[in-house]
Amino acid sequence: MKKFITYFLLYIIFCTLQFFFGKYINICGVFPNFILILIVYLGLTRGVVSAEIAGFLFGLTWDVFSTDIFGMRAVIFTIVGYLTGMMNKHFDKDSPLAKIVIVLSANLVYWFGFSFIYWVLPASESSSSSFITAQAAFKILVTVLIAPIIFFILDRLELFVRGDT
């Protein structure tokens, strides 16, 4: 029950942060992908199942709020969750560099996945082109830089939930 409540709260907090606070906390108009960071974190700490389910639910929610192809983010986040979950045994989870590398890889998967789906299904329903551009590269950079801070906060939160301070 405690686990479920924690997941639910994380879902609410990250959705609010991602969808409603973009105009308040951005760097030169670029807003980091908090949901992607959370999925990577879940993949590294909780494993495949948690990460892919969380990825799917977050993706579906984002699809509802966006005007892009419906189901696209659900698929990409599921893949990101699955891959990070599969990799969690092959990396030193406490190493900040490893985390940065994984977040960078996850970002690349996310953007390449995005571009691939738009390439396969031409953007007749889309409002903007989403191939990797300079702006996307800057977004990846911002997300990668902010990831250690989010990881630190989530680590603290997990310790707090467990009761170890």
The residue ranges that bind another protein (CB under 8 A) are 47-49, 52-53, 56, 59, 63-64, 67-72, 74-75, 78-79, 82, 85-86, 117, 121, 125
Q: Indicate the residue among 30 and 60 with the shorter CB distance to another protein.
A: 60
Q: Indicate the residue among 67 and 95 with the shorter CB distance to another protein.
A: 67
CB of 80 to another protein, least distance (A): 11
- Cα separation of 56 and 54, whole Å? 5
- Classify residue 110 as exposed, middle or buried by CB count within 10 Å of its CB (0-12, 13-18, 19+): buried
23 CB contacts (<8 Å, ≥6 apart)? none
CB of 79 to another protein, least distance (A): 7
Q: Indicate the residue among 76 and 144 with the shorter CB distance to another protein.
A: 76
CB of 162 to another protein, least distance (A): 21
Q: Indicate the residue among 62 and 144 with the shorter CB distance to another protein.
A: 62
Q: How many CA atoms lie within 13 A of 88 on its CB side?
A: 19
Q: For residue 32, is it left (φ>0), alpha (ψ between -120 and 50) or beta? A: beta
CB of 8 to another protein, least distance (A): 19
Q: Indicate the residue among 108 and 121 with the shorter CB distance to another protein.
A: 121
- Cα separation of 136 and 159, whole Å? 34
CB of 130 to another protein, least distance (A): 14
Q: Which residues pair with 30 in a beta bridge?
A: 27
